[in-house]
Protein backbone atom coordinates (compact mmCIF):
# COMPACT_ATOMS: atom_id res chain seq x y z
CA UNK A 1 0.00 0.00 0.00
CA UNK A 2 1.44 3.34 -1.03
CA UNK A 3 1.38 6.18 1.42
CA UNK A 4 -1.67 8.40 0.95
CA UNK A 5 -1.93 11.31 0.65
CA UNK A 6 1.53 11.76 -0.88
CA UNK A 7 2.16 15.11 0.81
CA UNK A 8 0.53 17.61 3.11
CA UNK A 9 -1.14 16.94 6.44
CA UNK A 10 -4.63 16.48 7.92
CA UNK A 11 -5.68 14.63 4.82
CA UNK A 12 -5.02 17.61 2.58
CA UNK A 13 -3.05 16.96 -0.60
CA UNK A 14 -1.00 19.75 -2.07
CA UNK A 15 -1.53 20.30 -5.73
CA UNK A 16 -0.55 22.82 -8.33
CA UNK A 17 -3.48 24.38 -10.13
CA UNK A 18 -1.98 27.40 -11.81
CA UNK A 19 0.83 25.83 -13.81
CA UNK A 20 1.88 22.25 -14.34
CA UNK A 21 5.56 22.94 -13.71
CA UNK A 22 5.06 25.65 -11.12
CA UNK A 23 6.75 25.35 -7.73
CA UNK A 24 3.77 26.82 -5.86
CA UNK A 25 1.32 23.96 -5.19
CA UNK A 26 -2.03 24.94 -3.70
CA UNK A 27 -4.52 22.94 -1.68
CA UNK A 28 -7.34 20.98 -3.31
CA UNK A 29 -10.63 20.93 -1.43
CA UNK A 30 -11.23 17.75 0.51
CA UNK A 31 -14.93 16.85 0.18
CA UNK A 32 -14.87 13.99 2.70
CA UNK A 33 -15.30 16.42 5.59
CA UNK A 34 -18.55 17.33 7.40
CA UNK A 35 -20.71 20.08 5.91
CA UNK A 36 -24.05 21.60 6.93
CA UNK A 37 -26.01 19.11 4.78
CA UNK A 38 -24.87 16.13 6.86
CA UNK A 39 -27.58 14.73 9.09
CA UNK A 40 -27.03 13.96 12.78
CA UNK A 41 -26.81 10.26 11.89
CA UNK A 42 -24.06 10.96 9.36
CA UNK A 43 -22.16 13.15 11.85
CA UNK A 44 -22.40 10.56 14.62
CA UNK A 45 -21.12 7.78 12.37
CA UNK A 46 -18.31 10.01 11.12
CA UNK A 47 -17.26 10.85 14.69
CA UNK A 48 -17.27 7.17 15.61
CA UNK A 49 -14.90 6.30 12.78
CA UNK A 50 -12.70 9.35 13.48
CA UNK A 51 -12.37 8.09 17.05
CA UNK A 52 -11.23 4.70 15.73
CA UNK A 53 -8.54 6.46 13.68
CA UNK A 54 -6.74 7.60 16.82
CA UNK A 55 -4.88 4.34 17.43
CA UNK A 56 -4.10 3.91 13.73
CA UNK A 57 -6.51 1.00 13.17
CA UNK A 58 -8.54 3.10 10.72
CA UNK A 59 -7.48 5.91 8.41
CA UNK A 60 -9.70 8.67 7.07
CA UNK A 61 -9.43 8.91 3.26
CA UNK A 62 -9.61 12.38 1.70
CA UNK A 63 -11.70 12.88 -1.44
CA UNK A 64 -11.36 15.41 -4.26
CA UNK A 65 -13.47 16.51 -7.18
CA UNK A 66 -10.92 15.49 -9.80
CA UNK A 67 -9.63 11.97 -10.32
CA UNK A 68 -6.03 13.16 -10.85
CA UNK A 69 -5.94 14.32 -7.25
CA UNK A 70 -6.44 10.74 -6.07
CA UNK A 71 -3.39 9.26 -7.74
CA UNK A 72 -0.94 8.60 -4.93
CA UNK A 73 2.80 9.30 -4.69
CA UNK A 74 5.12 9.81 -7.61
CA UNK A 75 2.56 8.83 -10.25
CA UNK A 76 0.48 11.80 -9.11
CA UNK A 77 3.10 14.35 -10.05
CA UNK A 78 4.11 12.49 -13.17
CA UNK A 79 0.53 12.44 -14.39
CA UNK A 80 0.39 16.22 -14.19
CA UNK A 81 2.91 16.41 -17.00
CA UNK A 82 0.87 14.04 -19.12
CA UNK A 83 -2.31 16.04 -18.93
CA UNK A 84 -3.00 19.58 -20.01
CA UNK A 85 -4.32 22.09 -17.50
CA UNK A 86 -7.48 22.44 -19.59
CA UNK A 87 -8.23 18.73 -19.51
CA UNK A 88 -7.85 18.61 -15.75
CA UNK A 89 -10.05 21.62 -15.09
CA UNK A 90 -12.90 20.58 -17.39
CA UNK A 91 -13.51 17.16 -15.89
CA UNK A 92 -14.96 16.15 -12.55
CA UNK A 93 -14.96 12.91 -10.63
CA UNK A 94 -18.48 11.55 -11.17
CA UNK A 95 -19.58 11.17 -7.50
CA UNK A 96 -18.19 14.68 -6.72
CA UNK A 97 -19.65 16.57 -9.66
CA UNK A 98 -22.30 18.65 -7.83
CA UNK A 99 -21.71 22.26 -6.80
CA UNK A 100 -24.39 22.31 -4.11
CA UNK A 101 -23.73 20.48 -0.85
CA UNK A 102 -26.19 17.76 0.09
CA UNK A 103 -28.05 17.30 -3.19
CA UNK A 104 -25.88 14.51 -4.59
CA UNK A 105 -23.40 12.07 -3.09
CA UNK A 106 -22.33 12.99 0.45
CA UNK A 107 -19.77 10.45 1.57
CA UNK A 108 -16.59 9.82 3.52
CA UNK A 109 -14.39 6.73 3.42
CA UNK A 110 -12.28 5.06 6.09
CA UNK A 111 -9.67 2.38 5.49
CA UNK A 112 -8.68 -0.47 7.79
CA UNK A 113 -5.38 -1.59 6.19
CA UNK A 114 -4.86 -4.74 8.27
CA UNK A 115 -8.37 -6.02 7.45
CA UNK A 116 -8.03 -4.87 3.79
CA UNK A 117 -11.35 -3.18 4.37
CA UNK A 118 -12.82 0.12 3.25
CA UNK A 119 -16.05 1.55 4.64
CA UNK A 120 -17.99 4.46 3.18
CA UNK A 121 -20.53 6.57 5.09
CA UNK A 122 -23.07 7.55 2.45
CA UNK A 123 -25.96 10.01 2.55
CA UNK A 124 -27.76 10.09 -0.82
CA UNK A 125 -29.26 13.50 -1.66
CA UNK A 126 -32.50 14.36 -3.53
CA UNK A 127 -30.76 14.57 -6.93
CA UNK A 128 -29.93 10.85 -6.86
CA UNK A 129 -33.56 9.77 -7.24
CA UNK A 130 -34.69 6.64 -9.01
CA UNK A 131 -38.05 5.36 -7.75
CA UNK A 132 -39.93 8.19 -5.98
CA UNK A 133 -38.20 8.92 -2.66
CA UNK A 134 -35.43 6.36 -3.13
CA UNK A 135 -31.88 6.30 -4.51
CA UNK A 136 -31.46 5.31 -8.18
CA UNK A 137 -29.94 1.84 -8.66
CA UNK A 138 -27.17 3.54 -10.62
CA UNK A 139 -26.27 5.82 -7.70
CA UNK A 140 -26.05 2.79 -5.41
CA UNK A 141 -23.83 1.08 -8.02
CA UNK A 142 -21.70 4.23 -8.17
CA UNK A 143 -21.01 4.44 -4.43
CA UNK A 144 -20.33 0.68 -4.31
CA UNK A 145 -17.94 0.89 -7.29
CA UNK A 146 -16.16 3.88 -5.70
CA UNK A 147 -15.78 2.24 -2.29
CA UNK A 148 -14.78 -1.16 -3.60
CA UNK A 149 -12.43 0.49 -6.15
CA UNK A 150 -10.73 2.59 -3.46
CA UNK A 151 -10.36 -0.51 -1.31
CA UNK A 152 -8.72 -2.41 -4.20
CA UNK A 153 -6.46 0.59 -4.97
CA UNK A 154 -5.14 0.82 -1.42
CA UNK A 155 -4.53 -2.90 -1.16
CA UNK A 156 -3.26 -3.68 -4.69
CA UNK A 157 -2.35 -0.38 -6.38
CA UNK A 158 -4.09 1.19 -9.39
CA UNK A 159 -7.00 -0.91 -10.60
CA UNK A 160 -9.91 -0.89 -13.04
CA UNK A 161 -13.38 -2.42 -12.60
CA UNK A 162 -13.76 -5.64 -14.62
CA UNK A 163 -16.97 -7.02 -13.09
CA UNK A 164 -19.50 -5.62 -10.67
CA UNK A 165 -22.50 -7.69 -9.57
CA UNK A 166 -25.06 -6.14 -7.24
CA UNK A 167 -28.05 -7.64 -5.47
CA UNK A 168 -30.48 -4.90 -4.53
CA UNK A 169 -32.32 -6.00 -1.35
CA UNK A 170 -34.07 -2.92 0.04
CA UNK A 171 -34.29 0.49 -1.62
CA UNK A 172 -32.28 3.26 0.08
CA UNK A 173 -34.45 6.24 1.14
CA UNK A 174 -33.11 9.61 -0.05
CA UNK A 175 -31.65 11.52 2.90
CA UNK A 176 -30.96 8.41 4.97
CA UNK A 177 -27.45 7.29 5.94
CA UNK A 178 -26.02 3.91 5.02
CA UNK A 179 -22.70 2.16 5.59
CA UNK A 180 -21.00 0.68 2.52
CA UNK A 181 -18.62 -1.97 3.86
CA UNK A 182 -16.15 -3.53 1.41
CA UNK A 183 -13.15 -5.83 1.70
CA UNK A 184 -10.60 -7.56 -0.47
CA UNK A 185 -11.33 -11.30 -0.37
CA UNK A 186 -8.53 -12.53 -2.60
CA UNK A 187 -5.71 -11.38 -4.89
CA UNK A 188 -4.64 -13.68 -7.74
CA UNK A 189 -1.94 -12.14 -9.93
CA UNK A 190 -3.52 -9.06 -11.47
CA UNK A 191 -7.02 -10.05 -10.30
CA UNK A 192 -8.43 -8.54 -7.11
CA UNK A 193 -11.70 -10.04 -5.78
CA UNK A 194 -13.83 -8.00 -3.40
CA UNK A 195 -17.19 -8.12 -1.68
CA UNK A 196 -19.40 -5.42 -0.24
CA UNK A 197 -22.52 -4.91 1.89
CA UNK A 198 -24.66 -1.78 2.17
CA UNK A 199 -26.55 -1.57 5.46
CA UNK A 200 -28.58 0.96 7.44
CA UNK A 201 -26.70 2.56 10.37
CA UNK A 202 -28.44 0.32 12.91
CA UNK A 203 -27.38 -2.71 10.87
CA UNK A 204 -30.99 -3.95 10.71
CA UNK A 205 -31.59 -3.37 6.98
CA UNK A 206 -29.45 -4.90 4.25
CA UNK A 207 -29.88 -2.57 1.29
CA UNK A 208 -27.51 -4.23 -1.17
CA UNK A 209 -24.71 -6.73 -1.44
CA UNK A 210 -22.12 -6.91 -4.20
CA UNK A 211 -19.12 -8.80 -5.49
CA UNK A 212 -16.51 -7.31 -7.77
CA UNK A 213 -13.44 -8.19 -9.78
CA UNK A 214 -10.84 -5.51 -10.38
CA UNK A 215 -7.79 -5.75 -12.62
CA UNK A 216 -4.52 -4.31 -11.39
CA UNK A 217 -3.14 -1.84 -13.93
CA UNK A 218 0.33 -2.01 -15.41
CA UNK A 219 1.60 1.57 -15.46
CA UNK A 220 3.53 1.05 -18.72
CA UNK A 221 0.39 0.27 -20.73
CA UNK A 222 -2.64 2.38 -21.57
CA UNK A 223 -6.02 1.68 -19.97
CA UNK A 224 -7.46 0.52 -23.26
CA UNK A 225 -4.63 -1.93 -23.95
CA UNK A 226 -5.04 -3.48 -20.53
CA UNK A 227 -8.80 -3.70 -20.46
CA UNK A 228 -9.07 -5.24 -23.92
CA UNK A 229 -6.77 -8.16 -23.11
CA UNK A 230 -8.08 -9.29 -19.73
CA UNK B 1 -47.55 -2.33 -22.65
CA UNK B 2 -49.32 0.82 -21.53
CA UNK B 3 -49.48 3.73 -23.88
CA UNK B 4 -46.69 6.20 -23.31
CA UNK B 5 -46.71 9.12 -22.93
CA UNK B 6 -50.19 9.17 -21.37
CA UNK B 7 -51.20 12.42 -23.04
CA UNK B 8 -49.87 15.17 -25.31
CA UNK B 9 -48.17 14.79 -28.65
CA UNK B 10 -44.68 14.77 -30.15
CA UNK B 11 -43.38 12.94 -27.12
CA UNK B 12 -44.39 15.73 -24.77
CA UNK B 13 -46.26 14.77 -21.63
CA UNK B 14 -48.61 17.27 -20.05
CA UNK B 15 -48.15 17.76 -16.38
CA UNK B 16 -49.48 20.00 -13.67
CA UNK B 17 -46.81 21.93 -11.78
CA UNK B 18 -48.71 24.72 -10.09
CA UNK B 19 -51.38 22.77 -8.21
CA UNK B 20 -51.96 19.09 -7.79
CA UNK B 21 -55.67 19.34 -8.50
CA UNK B 22 -55.41 22.16 -11.02
CA UNK B 23 -57.04 21.75 -14.40
CA UNK B 24 -54.24 23.60 -16.22
CA UNK B 25 -51.43 21.11 -16.82
CA UNK B 26 -48.21 22.52 -18.27
CA UNK B 27 -45.48 20.87 -20.30
CA UNK B 28 -42.46 19.20 -18.69
CA UNK B 29 -39.20 19.57 -20.57
CA UNK B 30 -38.26 16.53 -22.58
CA UNK B 31 -34.48 16.04 -22.26
CA UNK B 32 -34.23 13.27 -24.86
CA UNK B 33 -34.08 15.81 -27.67
CA UNK B 34 -30.98 17.12 -29.47
CA UNK B 35 -29.13 20.06 -27.89
CA UNK B 36 -25.99 21.97 -28.88
CA UNK B 37 -23.76 19.67 -26.78
CA UNK B 38 -24.56 16.66 -28.94
CA UNK B 39 -21.68 15.62 -31.19
CA UNK B 40 -22.15 14.90 -34.89
CA UNK B 41 -21.94 11.18 -34.11
CA UNK B 42 -24.75 11.49 -31.58
CA UNK B 43 -26.88 13.52 -34.01
CA UNK B 44 -26.36 11.03 -36.85
CA UNK B 45 -27.32 8.08 -34.68
CA UNK B 46 -30.37 9.94 -33.38
CA UNK B 47 -31.50 10.76 -36.93
CA UNK B 48 -31.05 7.12 -37.94
CA UNK B 49 -33.33 5.90 -35.15
CA UNK B 50 -35.84 8.69 -35.75
CA UNK B 51 -36.03 7.51 -39.37
CA UNK B 52 -36.78 3.98 -38.15
CA UNK B 53 -39.65 5.37 -36.05
CA UNK B 54 -41.57 6.37 -39.17
CA UNK B 55 -43.05 2.95 -39.86
CA UNK B 56 -43.76 2.34 -36.16
CA UNK B 57 -41.05 -0.29 -35.70
CA UNK B 58 -39.28 1.94 -33.20
CA UNK B 59 -40.65 4.55 -30.79
CA UNK B 60 -38.77 7.52 -29.37
CA UNK B 61 -39.05 7.62 -25.56
CA UNK B 62 -39.26 11.05 -23.90
CA UNK B 63 -37.24 11.69 -20.75
CA UNK B 64 -37.86 14.08 -17.88
CA UNK B 65 -35.87 15.33 -14.90
CA UNK B 66 -38.28 13.95 -12.30
CA UNK B 67 -39.18 10.31 -11.89
CA UNK B 68 -42.90 11.05 -11.32
CA UNK B 69 -43.09 12.31 -14.88
CA UNK B 70 -42.21 8.85 -16.17
CA UNK B 71 -45.11 7.00 -14.57
CA UNK B 72 -47.44 6.15 -17.43
CA UNK B 73 -51.22 6.45 -17.71
CA UNK B 74 -53.60 6.62 -14.81
CA UNK B 75 -50.98 5.86 -12.19
CA UNK B 76 -49.22 9.05 -13.24
CA UNK B 77 -52.10 11.28 -12.24
CA UNK B 78 -52.90 9.26 -9.16
CA UNK B 79 -49.35 9.56 -7.96
CA UNK B 80 -49.63 13.34 -8.04
CA UNK B 81 -52.16 13.19 -5.25
CA UNK B 82 -49.88 10.99 -3.15
CA UNK B 83 -46.91 13.33 -3.27
CA UNK B 84 -46.62 16.90 -2.08
CA UNK B 85 -45.58 19.62 -4.52
CA UNK B 86 -42.48 20.25 -2.40
CA UNK B 87 -41.34 16.66 -2.58
CA UNK B 88 -41.73 16.59 -6.34
CA UNK B 89 -39.85 19.83 -6.91
CA UNK B 90 -36.91 19.04 -4.62
CA UNK B 91 -35.90 15.76 -6.19
CA UNK B 92 -34.36 14.99 -9.56
CA UNK B 93 -34.00 11.85 -11.56
CA UNK B 94 -30.34 10.86 -11.05
CA UNK B 95 -29.23 10.73 -14.72
CA UNK B 96 -31.01 14.07 -15.41
CA UNK B 97 -29.74 16.04 -12.42
CA UNK B 98 -27.36 18.45 -14.18
CA UNK B 99 -28.36 21.99 -15.12
CA UNK B 100 -25.70 22.41 -17.81
CA UNK B 101 -26.16 20.62 -21.11
CA UNK B 102 -23.41 18.23 -22.13
CA UNK B 103 -21.49 17.88 -18.85
CA UNK B 104 -23.34 14.82 -17.54
CA UNK B 105 -25.54 12.17 -19.11
CA UNK B 106 -26.71 13.05 -22.62
CA UNK B 107 -28.96 10.27 -23.81
CA UNK B 108 -32.03 9.33 -25.78
CA UNK B 109 -33.88 6.02 -25.77
CA UNK B 110 -35.78 4.19 -28.50
CA UNK B 111 -38.08 1.22 -27.97
CA UNK B 112 -38.73 -1.66 -30.34
CA UNK B 113 -41.87 -3.20 -28.78
CA UNK B 114 -42.03 -6.33 -30.94
CA UNK B 115 -38.41 -7.21 -30.16
CA UNK B 116 -38.87 -6.22 -26.46
CA UNK B 117 -35.77 -4.16 -26.99
CA UNK B 118 -34.68 -0.73 -25.78
CA UNK B 119 -31.63 1.09 -27.11
CA UNK B 120 -30.05 4.16 -25.59
CA UNK B 121 -27.76 6.60 -27.44
CA UNK B 122 -25.36 7.78 -24.76
CA UNK B 123 -22.77 10.58 -24.80
CA UNK B 124 -20.97 10.76 -21.42
CA UNK B 125 -19.86 14.29 -20.50
CA UNK B 126 -16.75 15.45 -18.59
CA UNK B 127 -18.50 15.38 -15.20
CA UNK B 128 -18.89 11.59 -15.36
CA UNK B 129 -15.18 10.92 -15.01
CA UNK B 130 -13.69 7.89 -13.31
CA UNK B 131 -10.20 7.03 -14.61
CA UNK B 132 -8.67 10.11 -16.29
CA UNK B 133 -10.45 10.73 -19.59
CA UNK B 134 -12.92 7.85 -19.21
CA UNK B 135 -16.44 7.35 -17.83
CA UNK B 136 -16.75 6.23 -14.19
CA UNK B 137 -17.84 2.60 -13.80
CA UNK B 138 -20.79 3.93 -11.79
CA UNK B 139 -21.95 6.16 -14.66
CA UNK B 140 -21.83 3.18 -17.03
CA UNK B 141 -23.82 1.17 -14.48
CA UNK B 142 -26.32 4.05 -14.25
CA UNK B 143 -27.03 4.28 -17.99
CA UNK B 144 -27.27 0.47 -18.20
CA UNK B 145 -29.66 0.34 -15.23
CA UNK B 146 -31.77 3.14 -16.73
CA UNK B 147 -31.97 1.56 -20.18
CA UNK B 148 -32.58 -1.97 -18.96
CA UNK B 149 -35.08 -0.66 -16.38
CA UNK B 150 -37.02 1.31 -19.00
CA UNK B 151 -37.05 -1.76 -21.24
CA UNK B 152 -38.44 -3.90 -18.41
CA UNK B 153 -41.03 -1.22 -17.57
CA UNK B 154 -42.39 -1.03 -21.10
CA UNK B 155 -42.57 -4.80 -21.45
CA UNK B 156 -43.71 -5.81 -17.96
CA UNK B 157 -44.99 -2.68 -16.17
CA UNK B 158 -43.43 -0.99 -13.13
CA UNK B 159 -40.31 -2.79 -11.96
CA UNK B 160 -37.43 -2.51 -9.51
CA UNK B 161 -33.81 -3.63 -10.00
CA UNK B 162 -33.05 -6.83 -8.07
CA UNK B 163 -29.71 -7.79 -9.63
CA UNK B 164 -27.36 -6.05 -12.01
CA UNK B 165 -24.15 -7.73 -13.15
CA UNK B 166 -21.79 -5.84 -15.45
CA UNK B 167 -18.64 -6.94 -17.24
CA UNK B 168 -16.56 -3.90 -18.11
CA UNK B 169 -14.62 -4.72 -21.30
CA UNK B 170 -13.22 -1.42 -22.61
CA UNK B 171 -13.39 1.94 -20.84
CA UNK B 172 -15.71 4.52 -22.48
CA UNK B 173 -13.90 7.74 -23.47
CA UNK B 174 -15.62 10.91 -22.20
CA UNK B 175 -17.29 12.72 -25.09
CA UNK B 176 -17.62 9.61 -27.25
CA UNK B 177 -20.98 8.13 -28.26
CA UNK B 178 -22.01 4.58 -27.44
CA UNK B 179 -25.10 2.49 -28.04
CA UNK B 180 -26.62 0.74 -25.03
CA UNK B 181 -28.67 -2.13 -26.44
CA UNK B 182 -30.95 -4.04 -24.04
CA UNK B 183 -33.66 -6.64 -24.39
CA UNK B 184 -36.00 -8.72 -22.27
CA UNK B 185 -34.84 -12.34 -22.47
CA UNK B 186 -37.47 -13.93 -20.28
CA UNK B 187 -40.40 -13.19 -17.96
CA UNK B 188 -41.20 -15.67 -15.17
CA UNK B 189 -44.05 -14.51 -12.94
CA UNK B 190 -42.83 -11.30 -11.31
CA UNK B 191 -39.25 -11.86 -12.50
CA UNK B 192 -38.01 -10.10 -15.66
CA UNK B 193 -34.61 -11.19 -17.02
CA UNK B 194 -32.73 -8.85 -19.34
CA UNK B 195 -29.37 -8.53 -21.06
CA UNK B 196 -27.50 -5.56 -22.44
CA UNK B 197 -24.47 -4.64 -24.54
CA UNK B 198 -22.70 -1.30 -24.73
CA UNK B 199 -20.85 -0.79 -28.01
CA UNK B 200 -19.13 2.01 -29.91
CA UNK B 201 -21.17 3.46 -32.81
CA UNK B 202 -19.17 1.51 -35.40
CA UNK B 203 -19.87 -1.67 -33.44
CA UNK B 204 -16.16 -2.48 -33.30
CA UNK B 205 -15.64 -1.95 -29.57
CA UNK B 206 -17.58 -3.79 -26.89
CA UNK B 207 -17.41 -1.51 -23.87
CA UNK B 208 -19.57 -3.48 -21.45
CA UNK B 209 -22.08 -6.31 -21.25
CA UNK B 210 -24.62 -6.85 -18.51
CA UNK B 211 -27.38 -9.11 -17.27
CA UNK B 212 -30.14 -7.99 -14.94
CA UNK B 213 -33.08 -9.26 -12.97
CA UNK B 214 -35.97 -6.92 -12.32
CA UNK B 215 -38.98 -7.56 -10.08
CA UNK B 216 -42.40 -6.47 -11.28
CA UNK B 217 -44.05 -4.25 -8.67
CA UNK B 218 -47.45 -4.89 -7.19
CA UNK B 219 -49.14 -1.50 -7.04
CA UNK B 220 -50.98 -2.31 -3.82
CA UNK B 221 -47.77 -2.79 -1.80
CA UNK B 222 -45.00 -0.34 -0.92
CA UNK B 223 -41.59 -0.60 -2.56
CA UNK B 224 -39.98 -1.66 0.70
CA UNK B 225 -42.49 -4.43 1.34
CA UNK B 226 -41.95 -5.85 -2.11
CA UNK B 227 -38.17 -5.64 -2.20
CA UNK B 228 -37.70 -7.24 1.22
CA UNK B 229 -39.68 -10.37 0.30
CA UNK B 230 -38.29 -11.21 -3.14
Contacts of B107 in chain A (CB under 8 A): none
Residue of A131, A144, A205, A222 to mutate, interface with B, max B Cβ within 10 Å: A131
The per-residue pLDDT for A26 is: 57
Pairing, β B159-168 against β A159-168:
antiparallel
B51-83 pLDDT per residue, tens: 999 999 999 999 988 766 655 544 544 455 555
Residues A54 and A9 in one domain: no
CB contact under 8 A, B94 and A164: no
**A198 pLDDT higher than 90:** yes
Contacts of A87 in chain B (CB under 8 A): 133
The per-residue pLDDT for B19 is: 36
Residues B105 and B43 in one domain: yes
Residue B77 — φ and ψ, nearest 5°? Answer: -70, -40
3-state secondary structure of A85: helix
Gap between the Cα atoms of A193 and B136, Å rounded: 19
Contacts of B68 in chain A (CB under 8 A): 132
Residue of A79, A88, A141 to mutate, interface with B, max B Cβ within 10 Å: A141
Tell me whether B2 touches chain A (CB under 8 Å): no
Residues A19 and A129 in one domain: no
| Mean local confidence (pLDDT), B126-151 | 96
Closest CA to B183 of B200, B197, B168, B170: B197
**B122 pLDDT higher than 70:** yes
The per-residue pLDDT for B24 is: 42
Residues A3 and A55 in one domain: no
The per-residue pLDDT for B71 is: 52
Length of chain B: 230
Residue that wins the pLDDT comparison between A11 and A206? A206
CB contact under 8 A, A131 and B223: yes
A57-113 pLDDT per residue, tens: 999 999 988 766 655 544 554 455 555 554 455 899 999 999 999 999 999 999 999
Residue B70 Cα, gap to closest chain A Cα (Å): 10
- Kindly identify which residue of chain B lies nearest to residue A175, measuring between CA atoms: B91
Residues B78 and B183 in one domain: yes
The per-residue pLDDT for A24 is: 42
The per-residue pLDDT for A65 is: 83
Residues A8 and A58 in one domain: no
The per-residue pLDDT for A10 is: 38
Q: Which of B135, B138, B169 sits opposite A138 (nearest CB)?
A: B138
Q: Which of A129, A131, A136 sits opposite B142 (nearest CB)?
A: A136
Beta bridge mates, B179: B121, B199
Residue B184 Cα, gap to closest chain A Cα (Å): 18
- Kindly identify which residue of chain A lies nearest to residue B229, measuring between CA atoms: A169
CB contact under 8 A, A128 and B94: yes
pLDDT confidence tier of residue A22, bands split at 50, 70 and 90? very low
The per-residue pLDDT for B64 is: 86
The per-residue pLDDT for A214 is: 96
Residues A1 and A97 in one domain: no
The per-residue pLDDT for B220 is: 61
Residues B128 and B24 in one domain: no
8 Å CB contact between B207 and B169? yes
Backbone CA torsion sign across B29, B33, B36, B38: positive
Contacts of A223 in chain B (CB under 8 A): 131, 134, 171
List B residues 34-73 in contact with A (Cβ-Cβ < 8 A).
66-68
Residues B113 and B19 in one domain: no
Owning domain of residue A59: 31-227
The per-residue pLDDT for A217 is: 87
pLDDT confidence tier of residue A124, bands split at 50, 70 and 90? very high
A126-174 pLDDT per residue, tens: 999 999 999 999 999 999 999 999 999 999 998 999 999 999 999 999 9
Rg (CA), chain A: 17
Choice among B44, B69, B145, B185 that is catalytic: B145
Residue A123 Cα, gap to closest chain B Cα (Å): 14
Residue of B65, B96, B98, B168 to mutate, interface with A, max A Cβ within 10 Å: B168
Contacts of B223 in chain A (CB under 8 A): 131, 134, 171
Residue A139 Cα, gap to closest chain B Cα (Å): 7
Q: Which long-range contacts does B68-74 make (Cβ < 8 Å, 24+ apart)?
A: B68/A132, B69/B13, B69/B15, B69/B28, B71/B158, B72/B2, B72/B3, B72/B4, B72/B5, B72/B6, B73/B2, B73/B3, B73/B4, B73/B6, B74/B6
The per-residue pLDDT for B68 is: 62
List B residues 143-172 in contact with A (Cβ-Cβ < 8 A).
143-146, 149, 160-171
List B residues 82-111 in contact with A (Cβ-Cβ < 8 A).
83, 87, 90-95, 97-98, 103-104
What's the domain count of chain A? 2
| Mean local confidence (pLDDT), B115-122 | 98
CB contact under 8 A, B92 and A129: yes
The per-residue pLDDT for B12 is: 36
pLDDT confidence tier of residue B204, bands split at 50, 70 and 90? very high
The rounded mean pLDDT for chain A is 83
Q: Is A55 a catalytic residue?
A: no
Residues A54 and A163 in one domain: yes
CB contact under 8 A, A168 and B145: no
The rounded mean pLDDT for chain B is 83
- Kindly identify which residue of chain B lies nearest to residue A125, measuring between CA atoms: B91
The per-residue pLDDT for B222 is: 58
Residues A23 and A89 in one domain: no
What CATH number is given to the structural domain containing B176?
Answer: 3.10.129.10
Residues B142 and B68 in one domain: yes
A31-58 pLDDT per residue, tens: 999 999 999 999 999 999 999 999 999 9
CB contact under 8 A, A132 and B79: yes
The per-residue pLDDT for B77 is: 45
Gap between the Cα atoms of A190 and A156, Å rounded: 9
Amino acid sequence: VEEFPPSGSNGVTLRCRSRVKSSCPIQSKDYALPNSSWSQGMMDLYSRFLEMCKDGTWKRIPSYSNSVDHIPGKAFWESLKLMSEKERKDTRLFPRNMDTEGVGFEYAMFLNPSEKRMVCLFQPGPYLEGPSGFAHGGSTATIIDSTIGSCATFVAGRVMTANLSINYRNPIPLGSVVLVDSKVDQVEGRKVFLSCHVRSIDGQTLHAEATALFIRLDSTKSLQQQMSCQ
